[in-house]
Amino acid sequence: MLELVSEHGCFGGVQRFYRHASTTIGLPMRFSVYLPPAAMAGVGTPRPALFYLAGLTCTEETFMIKAGAQRLAAQLGLILIAPDTSPRDTGIEGEAQEWDFGAGAGFYLDATQAPWSTYWRMESYVARELFDLAVQEIRIDPRRVGIFGHSMGGHGALVLAQRHRERFRSVSAFAPIAAASQCPWGEKAFSRYLGEDRGTWQAYDASALMRAQPCVPFDGSILIDQGLSDKFLADQLNPEAFEAACAQAGQALTLRRHPGYDHGYYFIASFIEDHLRHHAAQLQG
């Protein structure tokens, strides 16, 4: 059962924040939804939707507050859905001591190592439970759903889109962690969530997944934007690895590199329109 935490009129539609008891996580989870005017007018009529996965330290509020996406989503008739980035208040010792691990750093995977495996099941939560909940309660059209994200969430979008191709028809990312098994953030998270066997990490590495695809996973192009003044670019993000993997797989990719842009939401707000139009074009029909 959904609990409406707050509701705000926004560009003719409504911005809502929800809480619910997650059966996958085993704890309350929060997520946000923007309903465009078309969804308000056509009550009960399924609409296309985009799932947005936020980055490290972010919550279900970050994208809705900072990205400036609602104005164009209202015009395009897109529902926007943003989950929190991890379980919260689990009682696990040390869960909130590090900004890049634990609370706010779920990495959109299902952990296999104790104690994290009890609650850290963000892949199943997003791609299964929240997706199904949105179909039932928010009335999204399950045949017209895209996914995108930023940084850790960009990693999540690229990974979940490939692992759940039957659910996500379009994908894009802002400054994604494009080869998580090969960077300090990913190594730290994967070793604790998944264990020391690096072979198991490949299942959550966007570039490794793309290299292993038996056929082109997406009919349309994948869109990635990357700022060249991003302080995390050299050590953490590795867009060139995903670029090479797409070339090997024959997957169409538009990877745009932007001088002067960093890793933050000023960068995201600058190119959010391109991403919404990218998804809207692929989700038509």
What pLDDT sits at residue 285? 62
**What is the separation of C-alpha 156 from the centre of its chain, rounded to a whole number of angstroms?**
5
Mean pLDDT of 37-63: 93
pLDDT tens-digit readout, 126-153 = 999 999 999 999 999 999 999 999 999 9
> What average pLDDT score do residues 21-29 get?
98
Would you place residue 216 in the very low, low, confident or very high pLDDT band (cuts 50, 70, 90)? confident
What is the percent of the chain where pLDDT is above 70?
100
Per-residue pLDDT of 98-135, as tens digits, reads 999 999 999 999 999 999 999 999 999 999 999 999 99
Instruction: Give the pLDDT band of residue 245 (cuts 50, 70, 90).
Output: very high
Q: Is the pLDDT reported for residue 41 higher than 90?
A: no
Measured between its terminal Cα atoms, the distance across the chain in Å is 31
Section 234-259 average pLDDT? 97
- Judged against a pLDDT cut of 80, whether residue 68 lies above it is answered with yes
pLDDT of residue 44: 73
pLDDT band at 179 (very low <50, low <70, confident <90, very high): very high
Percent of the chain, pLDDT > 90?
95
Q: Which residues are catalytic?
A: 151, 230, 263
- Segment 81-106 shows an average pLDDT of 97
